[in-house]
């Protein structure tokens, strides 16, 4: 494979991935309410609409509220689990680990339907807070994976040194381990946050008829035709995702987080 062929192929894939986003970015600045590309005129009104139109602003606030709550909850559930799996030797704990990984591997519609039947049977169907718990559990996989990597990266000799000096488990956790895995907590939070913001089916089945998040609002509007605000929201979401993952890459080790081992990882 020559360098030219590699560039051509990777360029073609970049084009494929960017094309729908580019067109959406184009139609989002149309002056009139029509779906046309190349855009006719230039206007940022549809971006302002996200904040000025009560319906869209409400959906934005809902989405952010759910995403903040759900990402915090997922980390709160994942942290003690990842710590336990790292600290103690207990084969049955693997079952809990598998439960933490399952929601992400199974088709999402299954988890969504499970929550729908659960919340309606418990009598809380449609309560706004149910979607926070649903997303918090649905996305627990992400902080679980990043935190497991984080604990594995902790240098054993540091822990031993602290133990020799007489620190108990909790002191070691607080003074030695916690500072080392803060980056992994943050990336777990960030992954869960971005995915919760974008998630549709679980949110829809849990609270679809009472709370409108942005993806639900866009889907509902799509059924009645096109509004340019959908395009501007899409662009905002893409920019937000690039920003969040870009920050993780800037302050963390993204290739390692995604499973690459570098040559200088001496212990492998």
For helices 141-153 and 54-87, angle between their N-to-C axes, nearest 10 degrees = 40
How many binding residues for another protein (CB under 8 A)?
88
Both tokens assigned to 68: 């903040």
Residue (48 or 247) nearer to another protein, CB: 247
Question: Which of 242, 217, 214 minimizes the C-alpha distance to 63?
Answer: 214
Q: What distances in angstroms separate CA 158 from CA 26, 153, 164, 173, 175, one per listed residue?
A: 53, 11, 10, 11, 11
Place of tokens 């974008």: 198
11: contact with another protein by CB under 8 A: no
Structure tokens at 117: 């039947």
| Helix 214-222 with 228-251: angle, nearest 10 deg | 150
Give the residue, chosen from 15, 48, 61, 93, that forms a contact with another protein under the rule CB under 8 A: 93
Tokens 């989002």 — which residue? 28
CB of 179 to another protein, least distance (A): 19
Residue 53 or 238: which CB sits closer to another protein?
A: 238
Q: Which of residues 164-193 bind another protein (CB under 8 A)?
A: none
Half-sphere exposure of 229 (CA within 13 A, CB side): 21
Q: Which is nearer to another protein, 40 or 175 (CB)?
A: 40
- Are the CB atoms for 59 and 217 separated by under 8 Å? yes
CB of 115 to another protein, least distance (A): 6
Q: How far is the CB of 151 from another protein (least distance, A)?
A: 10
Q: Which is nearer to another protein, 120 or 171 (CB)?
A: 120
Query: What is the rounded distance in angstroms from the CA atom of residue 191 to the CA atom of residue 241?
Result: 9
* Interface map 215-254 toward another protein (x if CB under 8 A): x--xx--x-------xx--x--xx--xx--xx--x----x
Convert residues 19-58 into a mask of x (bound to another protein by CB under 8 A) and - (unbound): xxx-xx-xx------xxxx---------------------
Nearer to another protein, 20 or 175 (CB): 20
The stretch near another protein (CB under 8 A) out of 41-49, 54-62, 177-185, 257-265 is 257-265
Alpha-carbon span 217 to 202, nearest angstrom:
14
Task: Name which of 51 and 121 has its Cβ closer to another protein.
Answer: 121
CA–CA dist 118, 70 (Å, integer): 18
Tell whether residue 64 is a contact of another protein (CB under 8 A). no
In angstroms, the Cα distances linking 143 to 71, 100, 132, 195, 265 are 9, 10, 16, 12, 22
Question: At closest approach, how far in Å is the CB of 182 from another protein?
Answer: 19
Residues 108-167 that bind another protein (CB under 8 A): 108-118, 120-121, 133-134, 137, 140, 156, 159
């Amino acid at each position: 494979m020559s360098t030219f062929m590699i560039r051509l192929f990777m360029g073609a894939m970049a084009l494929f991935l960017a094309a729908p986003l580019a067109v959406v970015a184009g139609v989002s600045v149309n002056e009139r309410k029509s779906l046309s590309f190349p855009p006719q005129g230039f206007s940022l009104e549809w971006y302002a609409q996200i904040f000025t139109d009560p319906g869209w602003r409400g959906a934005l606030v809902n989405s952010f509220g759910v995403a903040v709550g759900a990402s915090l909850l997922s980390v709160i559930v994942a942290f003690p689990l990842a710590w336990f799996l790292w600290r103690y030797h207990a084969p049955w704990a693997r079952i809990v680990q598998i439960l933490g990984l399952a929601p992400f591997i199974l088709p999402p519609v299954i988890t969504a339907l499970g929550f729908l039947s659960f919340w309606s049977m418990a009598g809380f169907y449609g309560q706004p807070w149910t979607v926070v718990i649903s997303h918090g559990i649905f996305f627990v996989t992400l902080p679980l994976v990043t935190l497991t990597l984080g604990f594995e990266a902790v240098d054993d000799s540091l822990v031993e040194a602290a133990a020799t000096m007489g620190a108990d488990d909790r002191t070691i956790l607080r003074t030695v381990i916690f500072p080392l895995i803060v980056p992994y907590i943050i990336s777990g939070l960030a992954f869960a946050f971005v995915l919760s913001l974008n998630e549709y089916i679980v949110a829809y089945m849990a609270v679809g008829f009472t709370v409108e998040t942005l993806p639900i609002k866009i889907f509902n509007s799509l059924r009645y035709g096109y509004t340019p605000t959908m395009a501007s929201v899409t662009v905002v979401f893409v920019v937000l995702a690039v920003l969040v993952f870009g920050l993780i890459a800037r302050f963390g080790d993204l290739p390692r987080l995604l499973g690459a081992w570098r040559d200088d990882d001496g212990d492998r």
